[in-house]
Structures are given as structure tokens and as C-alpha cells.
A and B are shown apart, each in its own frame.
Chain A
Amino acid sequence: MQNPANPPRAGSLLSDPKARAWLFQVIAVIAVVAFGWYLFQNTQHNLQQRGILSGFQFLSNSAGFGISQHLIDYAESDSYGRVFVIGLLNTLLVSVIGIVLATLLGFVLGIARLSPNWLVRKLATVYIETFRNIPPLLQIFFWYFAVLLPLPGPRQSLGLGDAFFLNNRGLYMPAPTLDGGFWPFLVAVVLALSAIGVLARAVRRRREATGQGFPLLLTALALLVLLPGLSVLLFGKPFVWSVPQLQGFNFRGGWVVIPELIALTLALTVYTAAFIAENVRAGIQAINHGQTEAARSLGLPPGKTLRLVIVPQALRVIIPPLTSQYLNLAKNSSLAAGIGYPDMVSLFAGTVLNQTGQAIEVIAITMSVYLAISISISILMNVYNKRVALIER
């Protein structure tokens, strides 16, 4: 009820916080939409005026150029769409390898940073302070132009036996090709793995029920060796190894890891590991020292203390910053363009963009892909985070 002695003023709607909030939001949304529309109109006008094609039909056109590394089959007559998939796979490849290696190296360094050993501690500190303060692009250039390219050429390769060769064309190694015994071998491996799985669950249940242990690791190893070994004896070799051989200009046969991939992976690993190490150190230091003391007084040796008591708890602190390091690594893989690794940015946002001239479509697709990768990593890590999070009982 309005007080008649105090009639509503004209500005009352504006002084009502709720109405004001509404008004403000509506205006903001209108402004954003108008701005977007304005840009859209300009673009539309510019494209038409200049006779630039638009739309996504180009994805089915034939690409017509070669690619140095493709994880799926590719020929020059394939479409730009397939080139896109190849670029995406190459980006994912380097991101996944980088994430795995950087995590391993980062954990080792982070723990080394807290080592009771003075020398180890100092070395880890020097490593971390050196590599995290140098731009990743510079590190990529360094590994590529200053380390890998000056390696000897194919004819003077550094060899390990007659199977592995390292030269400035990459790392060559034997590649398995399927032979008669492959399917039995595969079945044997699957059998061994499932047996280990079943056994592991049984062992855990028994430990929880009775506290008795079981040499699981040894048994698992034995299973993994024995079963496939039996299959090889009975049915013959699963693989034939194709060994790289110098032929003409290059090595032929076997697998090759191109130096662009090596340089990129090395640089990303070395750079990101320095950050992960700091996260790991912070995570471990966040754990109350009483935990270590308790574990030690229970008689656990230092290694086990770390593995069974400290790290599982530290993970809760480590995982959120770890996620953003993973995101950074995936995004930094786009620096591949600097050294000619055919990733998403250099292949699709580079070559394809230039052959078709459809900058807007190509950049939009590229950005969406990175957004999708970022969101997927976030979601995966959040799921994992939930699993390790403290469950209050």
C-alpha cells in the first residue's frame, strides 16, 4: 500500500533496485546484440562488396597438397575436411604425449624440489627457475633449430644397433606389421589383462576384509609374460618387424618420429613440467607435516609415505592448477606453426586458409576446436577431481 502522504515520484522505478537491475540487464543485452549485429552487418557487406566466397562448401573441395605427418591415410586428392581431421589429430597427438610426459617429469621434479638431498633440491630449483621463465616459442625454436636440425644427415645417422636411427630427419625405429600369430597373441594379452583385473579386485577385497596382502605386481607380470609367450610358442610370431633401412635419400620402412614433433614435444614437456613441479611442491607442502610423522611412526619407509600417504592427499590441492597447466599445454601446441609441424593451426588455419581464402570460416572452426579441447580437458579433470576429493564422512 502506498502511503498517500508520500506519493510515488517519477523516478521511483529507477530507484527500485530490482527494476534497475532488470533495466540494466536489458540494456546490456541489447548493447551486446547490437554490437554483434553491427559487426555481422559490416562483415556481410565487406564480403559481398569484395566478392569473397563464404560458407563451408570448401571443406569438401580437394586439397591438393602434401602433408608430412598424417595419422590417417591421406592423398593429395582428399578433401579439406580430411585435412582438418589430420590437423586435429596431430594437435591431439602432441597434446596427449606432452601432457603425459610433462606430468611424469613435473612430479619427479616437484618431489626432487623437496628432497632432503641438497644437490638434488638445488638442481631441481635451477631447472624450474630456468625453464619457466623462458617463452615456450623460444624453447621450441631452440630445440628445433639449435639442437635437432644440426644432427647429422641420414647417411651419418646416430644408430642404436641396426634398428634405431637418429638423424635430422627424425627418429627411425622398427615398426611391427601383423603376422599369422597376431590374433591368438591379442586374445592372450586380453585374457592376461582381464585375469589381472579380476585378481586385483579379489586381492583388494581380501585386504579390506582380512588385512592380508598378496604379491599382486609379481603375479601380474608373470601372467603378462606367460600367456602371450605361450601363444607365440603355439601359433607363431604375432608381428614381423619392419626395420628402417637407408634407401635413396631417406630411411625407408619402420616408424619415424619427425623432428618437428620431437622438438615440439620436448619444448612443451620441459616448459610445462617446470610449472607442474611447482604445483606439486605447493600441493605436498600444503599437507600437514603431522601426516608424514604419523606415517613414519607407523613404520612406513619414506618412499611408501610419499606414495601412500602424502601424494594421494596432495592430489586434491594439485589437480585444479594441474588442469590449467594441461589447458595451457594444449593451447601452446598451436606454436607448432613456428617450426612447420602440421598441427591444427599451421595446417588448417595456415595452409587451408590460404588456399581457400576463407579466413572467417577457418578461424571460427579453429577457435571452436580449441574451445572444445579446453572444455573437454576441464570436464575430464573435474570428474577426476571429484573422485579424489575429500569425502567427508
Chain B
Amino acid sequence: MLTHTFKPDQPPPRTSVGIVAWLRANLFSGWFNTLLTLFALYLVWLLLPPLLNWAVLDADWQGSTRADCSGEGACWVFIKARFGQFMYGFYPPELRWRVDLTVLLAIVGAAPLFVRRMPRKAAYGLAFLLVYPLLAFWLLHGGLGLTPVPTSRWGGLMLTLVIAAVGIAGALPLGVLLALGRRSKMPAIKVLCVTFIEFWRGVPLITVLFMSSVMLPLFLPEQVTIDKLLRALIGVILFQSAYVAEVVRGGLQAIPKGQYEAAAAMGLGYWRTMGLVILPQAMKLVIPGLVNTFIALFKDTSLVIIIGLFDLLNSIKQATSDPAWLGMATEGYVFAALVFWIFCFGMSRYSQRLERRLDTGHKR
């Protein structure tokens, strides 16, 4: 009788496990890939060491004046010295806690919205959206017991955030209305909305800002003056609402016809159908798209430099032409890029995660 005993498994060949195998599969499979890898390595070698040297190894971190810059690498002393101005603009230093508090409130207040299983999330969210802007305006602008700080002293990252936040908050309702109008069965409404949307999508934001900044007062009756920041915000909101409208329209189109018919069968009118049945579903679908629109808006805020508002980029640009800190343009721009990048990258990651999470729901 023969007994079969399995021999113990041979270990896989050295070439198909471990680091070598990985290298072979991912970097050196075939002559073309090898060539590509070598080329890519060359690129990395060309870019990375000088960049590291400049930004970290040879950089100056200590000190407080131009004299502390050795001139070999980046001089981050400049950023350190002007950090307050980059963050708050000309907001009075002794009142900057108000800005910090506003941001803190936003984070604390909005945090529950990101908890997945929060009860009464919608109600809370609505309340937050109603209360917070008033509170933020009061804190930032002052009045009612707080020292007023005119908007002309707002600046830096704070102004960038204000423009972006107000821009999206204002554009959202307008955009939803426009999207509904565009899908409306009434031809006149549809034409009006399409014209509005396509107009704002077709022109560059610079011209819009320029128009709202210097021409808006010509359209208004004499002596009606609107704050410069507010005018820029109006321009941003109108411009952005067109993009929001297009995103929301995508969501509306994704809702199956059965939902409309079911709502009609329940005897709901137009606004109730939209408000109770269609929009809640559609808005959930378009959240990632809205986040992307917001990212674009966030980057676009840098254009207010053209109309002389001191946002983050303009504050930095202004500081680089200070005689005491000449020649710091690269450091300044890199810092601005880093701040914008952190915000935009963070948001785009969030939007991607949402997209994956929501993917399982409706689309099939």
C-alpha cells in the first residue's frame, strides 16, 4: 500500500515574493517600463534634493528680521514675522480673538453634522445655518457692545474664508432655484434661467468682480452705497450660483420619474413635491459636486486681488513689496500655495470619500 504524503510546500521563488518581486512587477517589467522608471527616477533626483535643500535643510527658521536670512535656502522668518497679517489682514491685533472664536464656533457647531448617526441632523443643520451667520457677522463686524471693525480692515486668510463661505451660502439657495427654474415646464421661466446661468458661466470672474466693484453703483440710484466687500460678495454669489445650479440640475435629473409621479399621486403641489420629496434626495446626491464647486470658489477668491481687497494672496503680495523684506516673493508664494493646497486638498479628499459612501445608495 502506498501512502501519499505531501511534501511540504516549496517556498515561492525568490523572484515572485518580497521586495524584488514587487520591484520587478511594478518598476522593471519589460524594457519600456524600465526606461520609464529610470526616467522618473531621474526626474525625482533632479527635483527633490534641491527642493528639500531649499525648503528645509538650508532654510532659515530662527530670527525676526531680514538680517536673519542666510540667503542659501528659504527664509521662513519672513512668514513668521508677517504671520499675523497673513491670517487677519489689518484686523486690530487686540480683537483677533473674535476671529479665532468665530472659526472655533464654526468647527464646534458644524462637528455634529459630520457624525453619521446624529438624531435630528436636518433640524440641527438648519438651525446652525440660520444662527451661525448672524453670530459670525456680529463677532467679526462688531456692534451691539463689541468694538466695530469695518470691513476695510478685514484681510488675510480670514477674508478669503469669509468670501468663500458667504459665496457658497448665498449661491446655494439661488442655485437651487435656478436649477428648478431650468427644469421647469414653463417656457418663459426656463428661458430666463437658462440665459442667467449661461451668461454667468460664460464670462470670467474678473470681469464680474470688476463690474460689481466699480459699476454696480452706476446701476443703483444715487447715494445708495454698498460696502466694497459686500459688492464683491454679490458678484461672487451671482457667478457661483450659476455653477451650483448646474450641479444641482445633475442631481435633479438623477431622480427617477417615479418619485415625481408618486408625489403627484399623493396630491402634493409643486413646491411640496420639490421640498419634501425631490430636493432632499437630489441634494444628497450632489454633495460631492457641491464640495467641488466650493473648492473652485475657494481658489477663485484669490481674484479679489484685482479689485484691491486684501485676501490671503494680496496680503502676501503686499508684504513681499515691503522694503524691509524684499526678495521674499518665492517664500511668500510657496506659503500661499501651501495654505490653499491644504484647504483644497482636504476638501477634495472629503468629497471623494463622500462620493464613495453615497455611491452605494442610489446609483445602480
Contacts and interface: CB of A to CB of B under 8 A. Distances in A.
A–B in direct contact per CB < 8 Å: yes
Interface string B158-196: 000000000000000000000000000111110010000
B188 A338 contact: no
A142 B26 contact: no
Contact of B299 (A26, A119, A136): A136
B188 A119 contact: no
Interface in A331-363: 331-332, 334-335, 337-338, 345, 349, 359-360, 363
A374 B43 contact: no
Interface residues of B, number: 52
Contact of A116 (B29, B41, B44, B202): B29
A43 B218 contact: yes
Contact of A363 (B202, B207, B337): B207
B203 A370 contact: yes
A334 B206 CA distance: 7
Interface string B297-335: 001101101100000010001000000000001100100
B313 A138 contact: yes
A117 B26 contact: yes
Contact of B303 (A134, A137, A139, A375): A137
B337 A337 contact: no
Given A25-B188, A29-B192, A142-B333, A120 B37 contact: yes
B52 interface: no
A25 B214 CA distance: 33
B151 interface: no
Interface in A37-68: 39, 42-43, 45-47, 49
A115 interface: yes
A135 B300 contact: yes
B211 to A, nearest CB: 5
Nearest to B269: A17
B40 interface: yes
Contact of A43 (B219, B330, B341): B219
B330 A117 contact: no
B203 A134 contact: no
Contact of B27 (A29, A32, A118, A338): A118
B77 to A, nearest CB: 18
Nearest to B337: A134
A74 interface: no
A135 B215 contact: no
B27 A42 contact: no
Given A135-B302, A138-B340, A331-B204, A146 B333 contact: yes
A389 B43 CA distance: 38
Interface in A120-166: 120, 123, 129-130, 132-139, 141-142, 145-146
A331 B242 CA distance: 15
A216 interface: no
A42 B348 CA distance: 44
A371 B202 contact: yes
B344 interface: yes
A385 B352 CA distance: 28
A333 B360 CA distance: 39
A37 to B, nearest CB: 12
Interface string B125-148: 000000000000000000000000
B333 A129 contact: no
Nearest to B349: A129
A360 B186 contact: no
Contacts of B103: none
Contacts of B211: 363, 367
A138 B337 contact: yes
A2 to B, nearest CB: 23
B345 A123 contact: no
B218 A360 contact: yes
B23 to A, nearest CB: 9
Contacts of B210: 349, 363
Interface in A301-343: 327, 331-332, 334-335, 337-338
Contact of A145 (B41, B306, B313, B329): B329
Nearest to B330: A146
A25 B189 contact: yes
A195 interface: no
A21 interface: yes
A134 B317 CA distance: 16
Nearest to A123: B40
A139 B302 CA distance: 11
Given A117-B26, A345-B206, A367-B207, 4 more contacts: A45-B221, A119-B27, A138-B302, A146-B329
Interface of A: 21, 24-26, 28-29, 32, 39, 42-43, 45-47, 49, 115-120, 123, 129-130, 132-139, 141-142, 145-146, 327, 331-332, 334-335, 337-338, 345, 349, 359-360, 363, 366-367, 370-371, 374-375
Q: Which 4 A-B pairs have the closest CB atoms?
A: A133-B344, A118-B26, A25-B188, A374-B202
25 contacts: A39-B219, A42-B221, A45-B222, A116-B29, A117-B37, A117-B40, A120-B37, A120-B40, A123-B44, A137-B302, A137-B305, A137-B313, A138-B302, A141-B333, A142-B333, A145-B333, A327-B201, A332-B204, A337-B306, A349-B207, A360-B218, A363-B211, A367-B207, A370-B203, A375-B202
